[in-house]
Amino acid sequence: MTAPKEKLVLIGNGMAGINTIEHILKLAKSRFDIIVFGSEPYPNYNRIMLSYVLEGSKTIDDIILNNWSWYEENGIKLHTGTAVTRIDTKERIVYAENGISQPYDKLIIATGSNPIVLPVPGKEKEGVIGFRDIGDCSAMIHASKNYGRAAVIGGGLLGLEAAKGLVNLGMKATVIHLMPDLMERQLDPTASAMLKAELERQGIEFKMEAQTAELLGSDRVEGVRFKDGSELEADIVVMAVGIRPNTALAAEAGLQVNRGIVVDDYMQTSEPDVYAVGECNEHRGIAYGLVAPLFEQGQILAKHLAGAETQPYEGSVLSTKLKISGVDVFSAGRFMDSPELKVLRKQDEWKNVYKKLLLEDGKVVGGVLFGDVTDSAVVQQWIKNGVTLNEELYAEFMGVSGGSEKSPLDRVAAMSDDEIVCGCNGVSKGRILEVIKNDGLTTVDEIKSCTGAGRSCGGCIPTVSNLLQLALGDSYAGAGAKTGICGCTTLSRDEIVAAIREKRLTTTREIMHVLEWNQTEGCSKCRPALNYFLNMVWPKEHEDEKDSRFVNERLNANIQKDGTYTVIPRMYGGVTTPQELQRIADVAVKYDLPMVKVTGGQRIDLIGVKKEDLPDVWKELDMPSGYGYAKALRTVKTCVGSLYCRFGTQDSIGMGITLEKMFERLDMPAKLKMAVNGCPRNCAESCTKDIGFVGNDGGWEIYVGGNGGIKPRIADLLCKVKTDDELIEITAAYVQLYRETANYLERTSDWIERLGLDWVKASVLDDIENRNGLTARIYEALEGVKDPWKRVVEDKVERESYYGNTTLVTN
C-alpha cells in the first residue's frame, strides 16, 4: 500500500520559494502534496526583471517564470492574492485570509523582504511608492501618464533601475543619495563616478550627499525638502533605500528571529519541520538580498527535504550586476582599496572601460568591472575558489598586448566543469555541457529551458553561447540561428506544421514521438501550440485534446487571484434579451457572486464563481460561452449604427452579430477582437482592434492589426469594400491567413509587423486564387467546429421580434 503523501506548505510564491519547489519536483515529485500561498495576484515571476517592465522593454507576461498551467500540471494548489496571517507550530497549521486553514507536515517560509520606508514626515502621502513588486511598477507607469517629475530616494541598485525606467517613461527623474558615491556598497569611487557620468548622459539627474528631511504637499506629494533647507519639486517619490527581511509572521509564531529568521546550514528554523529560504532568513549572521545565494539555499533545502545527499550551506560569494540598458557593471567580493590588499587596475576612458582586481596574499578576493563584463563569471569563480594570480591569469585579465590573452572560446574551455556559469540558478559548466551532449541541445533557449541557465538576469547568456559553440564545434550555427517553438524541440512552427501535413500526424503525442521531442511529455508551452496546429490542419478529423489546453480553456472560465473563476456568457454584438438578463441575475443571486461587471467588450462578467459550481452555472445560464479565456474570437464590439443613430450609415449591430456568430468558436493563434462602427465617428473603437470595420455611405473600410493592450498599435487600413458579402469574404480570408501563418500566441499586431502589411494585402486582396483557397479552408474549419455549450436562441425569429427589422444571420 502506498504511503500517504506529506503535505508541504510554502508561504511565499516568489523566486526563492518556487525555485526550491522546482528542485523538489525533480528529486521527489511524488513525495509531497504541495500547497503554495502568495500575497500577489500573479504566478511566480522574475522579480529581478522588474526594471525591464518599468522601462517598457518587457511586459509582465515576459517575466513570468512559471505560468498558471505549471502549477496545475505539477499538482500544486496555488492560493494567489492570499496572505498567511498566522502559523500554529504546535498544531502544524497555517491560517490565511478568507478563513483558509491548511495543515502541514513540512513548512517553508519564503516571505522575502519589505522595502525600507524612510521615517520622514509625509511618507504616507499619495504618490510615495516603493520599488519591490509588480504593483509598484504599475503604480509608477500609471503616474508617468499623468505627472512629469519624479524623485528617487536611494542611489543603490534598485534606485538607479527605477530612475532609468521613469526616464524611459518620459519623466524627469532625479536620484537623491545620502552618500558621495553611487552604489557605494558595490563599487569603488572610480567605477561609481563612471557610472554616474554614463547615467547622466542617459538623462538621469542626481542630487548627491543630500539627506531627506520631509516630503512636501497636502494629500499628494509635491516635493522633497532636504536637511539643508533646499527643496526639489516632485510629483512622485520612489523610496529605494534598501530592504529588510519580512519576519513578522515567523516572529509571531515564536521562531528565533534576529535581523532575519535564523536558520542552520540546511535552512531549518528553531522549530522542527519549519524551514526558511531566501531574503527572509539569516544564515550565520548574514541576511542575503541577492538572488544567487537564495537559489543556492533552495537547492540544499530541496535535497534535504527529498532525502538526497547534500553538502551544508556555508554562505555565498556576493556579486552584483546593474540591469540598465547600455550600462554594464559588475562587482564581487571585496572592492575597496585597503593597505593589506594589492590592486590591479586598468582604465580606458576612450572605450569607457574599467577593470579592477584585488588580491590578498596573492589570492583573488574581489573585482570590479565597468563597461565590459565579459570576465564576470571568471572573476567570480576566482574569488570563490581563492585562486592565486599568476602571469598567465594576469595577462588574461589585463589583456596585455603580446601576452596570452584568450579568446572567449579559450576562456570557457579553460573553466573547470564545476565552475558556476549561471550564478542566479547555480548551473555549472559541466551541467551545461552534459545536457548539450546527452539531450542533443543546439540553442541557448533549449539550454535555458533545460537547466535554467540564463533564465533570470540573463548576464550569463554570452558564456552559455560560448559553451554551446565549444561543444558543437563546426555544427554550431549561432545562439539564435535555429530556435524551436520551445525548449522541447529545435523545430520551428512552420517545420512542425509541414511535418503534420506530410506525415499525417494526428495527435500531440504522435508529433512528439515522430519529430523526436527531447522531453517526451512536452511542456506547457508546446502542448497547447501542437493542439492548435492539429485543429488548424485537420479541422474535421482532429479530436480536440482538452489536456493540452490551458486551464482556463479547459474550464471555460478565467481563474482569478483568489482561486475562483469569472464566467462570461456570449452576447452577440453586445445585444441581449430580458430573458437572458433575468437568468444572469438569478445565477448571480443563487451562487452569491461578489460582483457582476459590464466588460469593455459589451458583455456581462460574473465574478467569483467557485470551480465546483461552474457546470451548474453554465447549465442554468443556458447561454453560449463568451470565450473570455480562449485563443479565439473574444468579442465583436458594436455601436448602435443605422438602426438608431442619426449619424449611422451601416447596420453595425447586424454585421457585428453576423461576424461574431460566424467566427465565435474557431481556434486562433491568440485572442482576437473585432469592432464594427456604423459611421466614421468610431464609437466602437475599431482603430485598436485586431479587425475593425467602419461604415460609410459607400460601404465599409476594413482595418487590421490594431491593439489596445500592453503594446498599443493603431490599426492599418486593409481595404475598402462596397457590399456586406465582400466584407465577409475578405475577413474570412484574412482570418484564415492569420491562422495559417502566425506563431502560436502571436497577436495580429505583432504578426502584421513581422510579415508586413504589403504581404498581407498581396495574399488576401491581389491573389484571388489564394483568397479563394483561404476562404474555402476556413469554411471547412467552421464546419468541423463543435460547440462545447448548448446554443440557445438558434433562430433569428425571437431576436427579430425584440429588435425589430435588424437583419441577423445565424450560422
pLDDT (0 to 100) of residue 786: 54
Is 450 one of the annotated binding-site residues? no
pLDDT (0 to 100) of residue 24: 95
Angle between helices 578-590 and 614-621 (to 10 degrees): 150
pLDDT band at 798, cuts 50/70/90? very low
Burial of 93 (0-12, 13-18, 19+ CB in 10 A): middle
Which CATH topology does 6-113+245-306 take? FAD/NAD(P)-binding domain (3.50.50)
Q: Which of 524, 604, 504 is nearest to 43 (CA)?
A: 524
pLDDT tens track for 144-164: 989 999 999 999 988 998 999
Size (the chain), residues:
811
* Inter-CA distances, 291 with 112, 287, 319, 422, 430, Å: 11, 12, 10, 11, 21
Contact 131/115 with Cβ under 8 angstroms? yes
Strand-strand pairing, 128-129 and 113-115:
unpaired
pLDDT tens track for 536-554: 999 888 888 887 887 777 7
643 alpha carbon, distance to own chain's centre: 44
| Mean pLDDT, rounded, for 102-115 | 96
Q: Which of 652, 661, 728, 731 is nearest to 695 (CA)?
A: 652
| Per-domain residue ranges of the chain | 6-113+245-306, 128-241, 493-549, 550-630, 632-811
CATH of 128-241, one of 3.50.50.60, 3.20.20.70, 3.40.50.300, 3.30.70.360: 3.50.50.60
Angle between helices 526-537 and 493-502 (to 10 degrees): 50
Q: Which is more confidently placed, 203 or 463?
A: 203
Per-residue 3-state assignment (H helix, E strand, C coil) for 620-668: HHCCCECCCCCCEEEEEEECCHHHCCCCCCCCHHHHHHHHHHHHCCCEC
Is 679 one of the annotated binding-site residues? yes
* Inter-CA distances, 562 with 40, 82, 485, 551, Å: 10, 7, 32, 15
For residues 679 and 696, give the distance between their C-alpha atoms in angstroms, rounded to a whole number: 5
| Mean pLDDT, rounded, for 20-45 | 93
Virtual CA dihedral for 653, 659, 660, 663, nearest 10 degrees? 180
Of 77-86, 153-162, 443-452, 640-649, the range with the lowest mean pLDDT is 443-452
Angle between helices 444-451 and 461-472 (to 10 degrees): 110
Is 422 one of the annotated binding-site residues? no
609 C-beta neighbours (distance < 10 Å), count: 23
pLDDT (0 to 100) of residue 295: 85
| CB-based burial, 10-32: b 16+ in 10 Å, e otherwise | bbbbbbbbbbbbbbbbeebeebb
CA geometry: angle 599, 605, 607, nearest 5 deg: 130
pLDDT (0 to 100) of residue 457: 62
For residues 317 and 397, give the distance between their C-alpha atoms in angstroms, rounded to a whole number: 20
pLDDT (0 to 100) of residue 481: 46
What are residue 261's DSSP bridge partners? 257, 281
Q: Which is more confidently placed, 686 or 797?
A: 686
pLDDT tens track for 753-791: 888 999 999 999 999 999 999 999 999 898 876 544 333
pTM of the model: 0.62
Residues 6+ apart with CB under 8 A from 496: 485, 489, 511, 515, 530, 533
pLDDT (0 to 100) of residue 710: 66
pLDDT tens track for 581-594: 999 999 999 999 98
pLDDT tens track for 546-580: 878 877 777 778 777 677 888 888 888 888 889 99
For residues 698 and 721, give the distance between their C-alpha atoms in angstroms, rounded to a whole number: 8
pLDDT tens track for 349-368: 888 899 999 999 999 999 99
* Inter-CA distances, 775 with 294, 435, 741, 779, Å: 55, 45, 15, 6
pLDDT (0 to 100) of residue 802: 32
For residues 788 and 251, give the distance between their C-alpha atoms in angstroms, rounded to a whole number: 51
Above 80 in pLDDT, residue 336? yes
CA geometry: angle 741, 742, 743, nearest 5 deg: 125
For residues 621 and 614, give the distance between their C-alpha atoms in angstroms, rounded to a whole number: 11
Look-up of cell digits 479547459? 554
CATH number of 632-811: 3.30.413.10
Q: Quick one: CATH architecture of 550-630? A: Alpha-Beta Complex (3.90)
Mean pLDDT score of the chain, rounded to an integer?
A: 86
pLDDT band at 334, cuts 50/70/90? very high
Above 60 in pLDDT, residue 792? no
Please tell me if the domain spanning 128-241 has the same topology as the one spanning 632-811. no
Is 488 one of the annotated binding-site residues? no
Above 80 in pLDDT, residue 413? yes
Cell readout for 173 is: 527623474
180 alpha carbon, distance to own chain's centre: 36
Rg (CA), the chain: 29
